[in-house]
Structure 1
Amino acid sequence: MDAVIYNISDLKEEIERLKASKRLQETAIKSHFNSPGAIFHTITSLFKHNQAPGESSGLFGAGQDMVSLISRFVLPFILNKTLFRSSNFIIKTAVGLLSQKASGFINEKSVTSVWDKIRSVIPNLIHKNKKPAKPAVDYGIPPDSESY
């Protein structure tokens, strides 16, 4: 919308400029999808995130520990075997992809924080259910003592 159109020749020039711009954009888009490798790269670039300068790239990616690696494989397996047992292939594939993306949020720090919260709640529940012990009655001198 930079060009100001005053007459028909300006209009035709703008139309030609837009057509040329369209052709350039079409060739750029076609170059992204001209081979299977380019398609794969385009799709995977949607899921990549920028690595922070302090993070180290581990065996399977940046900032993943053993808990997140295990959850990446165990979470889809458990969901497909329990909740989505009678689902079709497309649903199971979608659940697998989504649960693998969600497993990025499961790491050692989050698991230990949940475990600590559970451990702090359990003793409170156990102590609430116990009845208080009756205090021992002290009558002074014990009955079997030798002090008369």
Structure 2
Amino acid sequence: MTDQPIYSHTDLKNEIYRLQGLEREKGLELKQRFSSPGAIFSSIFSLFSGNDHADAKDGGIFKQDFLGVLSRFALPFTLNRTLFKNSNFIVKALVGLVSQKASHFISEDSVEGVWDKAKGLFGKVTHLFDKSDKKTKPEVTSFRKIKKD
């Protein structure tokens, strides 16, 4: 690319020819890039993938586990349909951006950890209110009849 000033009619024509040639080159590159279904999918994957040296939380959506990918789409959709239902476009866009960033922290391991903590807390609460823990009479399992001789 040159930033030469255009002083005459011939300079303008030369610049037009240069730009038309550049347009043809870029058109051929695009045609090659989208020539087959495999090429289309690799182009789409390259849009979403991050650096090859990045961690899974810093990479694209295809470097996350199933729950991470699901949360990238489900979290903004759910928030915009429930909490921010009557909000304007800007608020919904901001919610989408923030929830996209937050979805990097949602993984199968983190959900499993939260689930285990919730089960433990629920177990403690039900243990406190369980009626069988109160003092009860011991059950008699068998009676022996004593014979008198």
TM-score range, shorter chain: 0.5 to 0.7
- Deviation for aligned residue 1:98: 1.0
For 1:70-101, what per-residue CA distance to the aligned partner results, in whole angstroms no more than 9, with x for missing partners?
11111001110111111011111111111011
Distance 2:83 2:98 in 1: 14
Q: Sequence identity of aligned pairs in percent? A: 41
Alignment CA distance shift 1:147-1:118 (3 Å) = farther
* TM-score, with length taken from structure 2: 0.54
In structure 2, the partner of 1:124 is: 124
Alignment CA distance shift 1:109-1:130 (3 Å) = same
Distance 1:66 1:137 in 2: 51
For 1:98-117, what per-residue CA distance to the aligned partner results, in whole angstroms no more than 9, with x for missing partners?
10111111111100000000
Distance 1:59 1:99 in 2: 15
In structure 1, the partner of 2:67 is: 67
How much is the aligned-residue C-alpha RMSD, in angstroms?
2.9
CA contact 2:71–2:106 (8 Å) conserved in 1: yes
Question: Is 1:85 equivalent to 2:88 in the alignment?
Answer: no
Distance 2:139 2:104 in 1: 60
Question: Is 1:110 equivalent to 2:110 in the alignment?
Answer: yes
- Structure 1 segments of 4+ aligned residues over 3 angstroms from their partners: 58-61
Alignment CA distance shift 1:109-1:135 (3 Å) = same
Alignment CA distance shift 1:137-1:102 (3 Å) = closer
One-letter identity of the residue aligned with 1:90: I
Unaligned runs of 5+ in 2: 1-49
SS at match of 2:61: coil
In structure 2, the partner of 1:51 is: 54
Unaligned runs of 5+ in 1: 1-47
In structure 1, the partner of 2:138 is: 136
- Deviation for aligned residue 1:61: 3.3
Alignment CA distance shift 1:90-1:136 (3 Å) = same
SS at match of 2:54: coil
One-letter identity of the residue aligned with 1:136: P
Matches within 5 A, 1:30-45: none
Distance 1:84 1:95 in 2: 8
